[in-house]
Amino acid sequence: MDIKKSIMFMAHVPLQDISNIVTTLLEYSSVKRYMVCGEDKPYEHIHFLVEMSSKDYSAFAKRLFIAQYKLRGRAGRKGTSEEGLPRQYGKVKKIEDIYGAMCYTLKEGNEKWRYTNLDPKIVKKLLEDSFKKEETDKLYECMKTTTPDIHCS
pLDDT of amino acid 150: 41
Crossing angle of helices 120-129 and 98-106, rounded to 10°: 90
CA angle 10, 11, 15 (to 5 degrees): 115
Mean pLDDT throughout 23-46? 91
Beta strands in 12-127 (DSSP E): 34-39, 45-51, 89-91, 114-116
What is the Cα 103 distance to its own chain's centre?
10
- Spatial contact of 38 and 18, defined as CB atoms under 8 Å apart: yes
Task: Give the model's pLDDT for residue 128.
Answer: 82
CB-facing half-sphere around the CA of 149: CA atoms within 13 A: 0
44-98 pLDDT per residue, tens = 889 999 999 999 999 999 999 889 988 877 655 666 655 555 558 888 888 988 8
Phi, psi of 18 (to 5 degrees): -60, -40
How much is the average pLDDT of 19-43?
92
Give 24's pLDDT tier (boundaries 50, 70, 90): very high
Alpha-helical runs (H) found in the chain: 18-25, 54-60, 98-106, 120-129, 133-145
First to last CA, the chain: 35
Q: pLDDT for 111-152, tens place per residue?
A: 778 899 988 898 888 888 876 655 445 444 544 444 444 443
